[in-house]
Amino acid sequence: MLTKQIFKNNSHQWLLFGRDPEKPEKIIDSNQYMVKTETKALLMDPGGIELFPSMLANVIKQVPVEQVTHLFASHQDPDIISSLGLWDQALPEAQLHAPWLWEGFIRHFGMDNIDYVAIPDEGGELQLDLVQLQFVPAHYLHASGNFHVYDPQARILMSGDIGAALEPAEAPLVVDDFQDHIRKMQMFHQRWMPSNRAKDDWIERVSKLEIDMMCPQHGRIFEGDDVKRFLDWFSTLDVGTAIPRVQSA
Amino acid sequence: MPQTEQPNYFVIAAIVAAELYQAMVVARQIALTASNARSLAIRAGQGAAGFRAITDFIDDLASVTVNASKVINNQAVAVSRIASDTARAEFALVSFDNAFHKASGAPYLSSLDASYQRTQEYRDSLREKFDKQVVNLNSRLEELARELRTAMVLSAMSRVEASQAGGQFEQPLNVIAQKVADAAAEIQRRVKYSRQMFSHLGKGRAD
């Protein structure tokens, strides 16, 4: 599994884990992110049960395991957090920050030790040493309770399934040709995202943030102007397309 | 780092729980049969007095079997739960092993030692609990098997008493005797199967 530092300043680092060549063929490739501060670390969308050994191995190349004090799950999907039962054995003192809506569901993955910190619908904040992170609501994109993580210092938005693309595990980490990238993410957004209203609400919210990097859970990172390009493209995209539109008379 | 195993004890324990649940259902049928037998024996009058006395024993047998099956069933479910937790702990250990292997030479590799040890201790405590529960369950199953031997005796006695009743009552009383015998055989079969399954568990846990 690849580990890539995507941001670093005096207070913290952002790391991406992904592109695992040992991943079983039929499971979707996923990006996991970690914010590492002086004494703490937050692991975001730590991944499925199949990825756990690779993830754990890569994490302990960066920090002692006990430094991982916080986990974050944007929503309840198995590729996001089905490894929870194993992290629960590895990090018994940790906290899991996840939507309140999914607590009873996520606990099905096995959680005897980790503390569940329910994020209310309006979002919240997390202080890691000198770094303050924000949990940004992204409800119905695609899960009915859903959050992203924004780091105002690093100007990074971890955007969960928004911006995701379906492409081979060996794909580059950063979008290099936005127009070409559209075809890799169009179906994903139209089919997985259910609500145009939720989409518009999210775009309005996120447009107010200063974002240098938008980091989805699948596919590639958007940098610089590609973030705005994505928001413009997404704003015109019709989503929820599995239900045919009713033609008005 | 020792290699770990991932046995399917929880499946075996769940099978035993299901078997005992079925045994309990059959035992309830015996209770119903005993009730029918009592009514019939009363109607048959003095000729079936002996049979009437036997129905009390059939009733007792049904009650003992229902209760024992219920207790064993609940215990088997609890054992299955312990076995599931054990399998999960085993899986965590296998995953830690795998991570150790992948992270060979990593600067913080040794930070995993505490997690590994804690999980290993947890796994060992579950195993110990599991072993105790299996021994306990086995002895309860043996006890139930002994009780069920009485059922065959009761069935044979019922046939003798049915012939004493004579006339129109002999045949229905014989049917009842047969029902008791069939139900007891069915329960015995399930108890025997459960004991066989547990003997596998015993061998599996000999490590």
Task: Say what the pLDDT of residue B201 is.
Answer: 66
| pLDDT tens-place string over residues A22-52 | 888 888 999 999 999 999 999 999 999 999 9
Q: Based on the structure, what is the number of domains in chain B?
A: 1
Is any Cβ of chain B less than 8 angstroms from the Cβ of A113? no
Which of A167-176, A195-204, B34-43, B106-115 has the weakest average pLDDT?
A: B34-43
- Indicate yes or no: CB of A64 within 8 angstroms of CB of B111: yes
Mean pLDDT of B68-84: 87
Candidates B89, B99, B108; nearest CB to A53: B99
CB of B199 closer than 8 Å to CB of B149: no
Cβ separation A85–B108 shorter than 8 A: no
Q: Is B147 in contact with B25 (CB distance < 8 Å)?
A: no
Interface test with B, best of A15, A20, A89, A93 (most B CBs within 10 A): A89
Mean pLDDT, rounded, for A71-89: 96
- Closest-approach residue (CA) in chain A for B101: A57
Is the pLDDT reported for residue A89 higher than 70? yes
Q: Which of A86, A87, A111 should one mutate to test binding to chain B, selecting the residue with the greatest count of B CBs within 10 A?
A: A86
- DSSP letter at A140 equals T
Provide the pLDDT for residue B1: 41
**Model confidence band, residue A248 (pLDDT cutoffs 50, 70, 90):** low
pLDDT level of residue B204 (50, 70, 90 thresholds): very low
Residues of chain A with C-beta less than 8 angstroms from the C-beta of B114: 66
Segment of A68-82, B67-81, B163-177, B186-200 carrying the highest mean pLDDT: A68-82
Cα B18 to chain centroid, rounded: 8
The residues with which A2 forms a beta bridge, in sequence order, are A18
Tens digit of pLDDT for each residue in A93-135? 999 999 999 999 999 999 999 999 999 999 999 999 999 999 9
The tokens describing A44, both together, are 């975001």
Question: B109 vs A65: CB contact, 8 Å cut-off?
Answer: no
Q: How far apart are CA B126 and CA B84, in angstroms?
A: 10
Q: Do B108 and A61 make contact, defined as CB atoms within 8 angstroms?
A: yes
In a mutational test of the A interface, the residue from B86, B96, B118 whose CB has the highest number of chain A CBs within 10 Å is B96
Q: Residue B85 sits in which domain range?
A: 9-204
d(CA A213, CA A82): 26
Q: Which residues in chain A have Cβ-Cβ distances shorter than 8 Å to B122?
A: 89
Q: Which helix (H) or strand (E) holds A110?
A: none
Cβ B99 vs Cβ A56: under 8 Å: yes
Tokens linked to A58: 């890569």
Average confidence (pLDDT) over B77-97: 91
Cα(A97)–Cα(A133) distance, integer angstroms: 12
Cα radius of gyration rounded to whole Å, chain B: 25
pLDDT at A245: 77
Q: Kindly list the distances between the CA atom of residue B46 and the CA atoms of A55, B54, B159, B165, in Å, as whole numbers in the listed order.
A: 81, 14, 16, 8
Domains and CATH numbers, chain A: 2-236 (3.60.15.10)
Mean of pLDDT over chain B: 83
A111 touches chain B (CB under 8 A): no
Residue B89's SS3 state is helix
Question: What pLDDT score does A204 carry?
Answer: 98
Q: What are the φ/ψ torsions at residue A132 (nearest 5 degrees)?
A: -110, 125
Residue A143's pLDDT is 97
Residue B116, amino acid:
Y
Q: A148: which 2 tokens?
A: 């992203």
Answer whether A86 sits within 8 Å of B115, measured CB to CB.
Answer: no
A236 compared with B22, residue with greater pLDDT: A236
Residue B69: its pLDDT value, please? 84
pLDDT of residue A100: 98
**Residue A120 tokens, joined:** 């209310």
Q: Is residue B22 part of a domain?
A: yes
Give alpha helix (H) positions in A178-224: 178-192, 196-207
Residues on chain B bordering chain A, Cβ-to-Cβ distance under 8 angstroms? 88-89, 91-92, 95-96, 98-103, 106-109, 111-112, 114-115, 118-119, 122
* C-alpha–C-alpha distance, residues A175 and A19, integer Å: 15
Model pLDDT, residue B159: 81
B71 pLDDT more than 80? yes
Segment (H or E) for A148: strand A147-151
Q: In the structure, what pLDDT confidence band is assigned to residue A212 with cuts at 50, 70 and 90?
A: very high
Mean pLDDT of A57-86: 96
Interface contacts (A, B; CB < 8 Å): 65
pLDDT tens track for A151-210: 999 999 999 999 999 888 789 999 999 999 999 999 999 999 999 999 999 999 999 999
Residue B128 lies in a domain: yes
Phi (first) and psi of residue A15, to 5 degrees: -125, 145
Q: Look at A135-139, B147-151, B190-194 and tell me which has the smallest mean pLDDT.
A: B147-151
Residue B80 has pLDDT above 50, yes or no: yes
Interchain contact A90–B (C-beta under 8 A): yes
